[in-house]
Amino acid sequence: MRYIKMTALVASAVMLGACGGEKKAADTSAVDTTAAASATPAATAAPAAGAVAAAPVTGATHEVKMIGDEKGYRFEPAEITIKAGDAIKYVNVTGGPHNVSFDPAAVPADVKAQLAANMPNTTSELSSPMLVQPNEAYTISFGNIKPGTYEAHCTPHMAMNMKQKITVQ
């Protein structure tokens, strides 16, 4: 009986210790990753051998709103034309969480590595983090991206046709 009480006491102490030692992650819900996307190469770590460095924004930054409301889920504008070197700043307005993703199979092989390098803090290949809070923003540089049309979507709302066509001139 004494052995069972001692085992229960030790197990309780271990459980309390395990629960109390948890570190909380920093609150990043309102982080604007604009600075990360427009950082100069000197401010970023050197890429690994064979890797592509993020290209800085050398042109205009265009704002695209991410919306979910009674009219549906959408990017505004749904079609946008930019120049190589420009950036797109995506802003969560309503109906989140939202993200910006490109289908890796649909992006030309000679563009994929640069686009991936230009997307900071991705959660998977060519997929931005989720923007949960209103006014949370994510910026993608289109520096060193060759002219063409690229289709993006919001992963959680793709079935609801939240898609965008980006034309790079």
User: What DSSP character marks residue 45?
Assistant: P
What pLDDT digit, counting tens, does each position of 130-143 carry? Answer: 999 999 999 999 99
Could you identify the residue written with the tokens 């570190």? 23
CATH of 31-40+49-168, one of 3.90.1150.10, 2.60.40.420, 2.60.40.10, 3.30.420.40: 2.60.40.420
pLDDT over 50 at 12, yes or no: no
What pLDDT digit, counting tens, does each position of 61-114 carry? Answer: 999 999 999 999 999 999 999 999 999 999 999 999 999 999 999 999 999 999
In whole angstroms, what is the distance from residue 18 CA to residue 132 CA? Answer: 29
Could you identify the residue written with the tokens 């979910």? 68
Tell me what pLDDT residue 39 has. 39
Could you write out the DSSP letters of every residue in 49-69? TTPPPPPPP-S-EEEEEEEEE
Could you identify the residue written with the tokens 């890797």? 51
As a whole number of angstroms, the longest Cα–Cα distance in the chain is 79
Alpha-helical regions (H) of 51-121: 109-117
* Residue 113 Cα distances to 7, 29, 52, 123, 126, angstroms: 55, 27, 6, 15, 9
Cβ pair 98, 157 in contact under 8 A: yes
